[in-house]
Amino acid sequence: MHSSTHHAALALVLLLWVAPPARAQAPLPPGFVDAAAVVDGLVVDMRYFGDNNFVGQRIDGYERPRCLLSVPAVNALAAIERDLAANGLGLKVFDCYRPQRAVAHFVRWAQRIDDVKHKRELYPDADKRDLFKDGYISDRSGHSRGSTVDLTLVRRVDGREFDMGSPFDFFSPKS
């Protein structure tokens, strides 16, 4: 074996031995699609994939920052986006399909009464002990069916959000 071929083979063996295995892409739930692949111009800002949300951390079950929805929901969003685009507007999504693991994460957070990291910004007038009673958090979510989406309007030219009166994840009748 030629010396450089031997070194290349050895390097490949070492890389395979040392490198962690790549994570397999989680398959889409049956009947779901990635909305950004279908809805032209859709702005995706999946808040539960990061820490910009009421819990203040990435939420269990959000493996990638993508908007998964049922086919009928995506088709409806695409039709709305086409109508809005004619007026220079578009859609920005914050949450789409929500795995049950995420719902369980919300429930665990709500039960930890002393965890109030984002109270001042996102639920200043709500008592955390009342979030279930007031309907802000539930142990079941319509998002888990893949036909519920949290969104806002944006200007297509610069992606600037319209003022909807309250920020995303704001626990108040204002929302």
pLDDT, tens only, 109-159 = 999 999 999 999 999 999 999 999 999 998 888 888 889 999 999 999 999
Q: Both tokens of residue 121?
A: 């910004």
Q: Which of 49, 4, 35 is nearest to 149 (CA)?
A: 35
Q: Which domains does the chain have, with CATH numbers?
A: 32-155 (3.30.1380.10)
pLDDT band at 26 (very low <50, low <70, confident <90, very high): low
pLDDT band at 17 (very low <50, low <70, confident <90, very high): very low
Q: What is the full DSSP assignment across 32-57? A: EEEGGGTSTT-EE--GGGSS-SSSSS
Which pTM value belongs to this model?
0.81
Q: Which residues pair with 150 in a beta bridge?
A: 95
Q: What is the pLDDT of residues 133-145, one digit of tens each?
A: 999 998 888 888 8
Give the DSSP letter of residue 89: E
CA distance 66 to 159: 17
> Quick one: average pLDDT of 43-49?
97
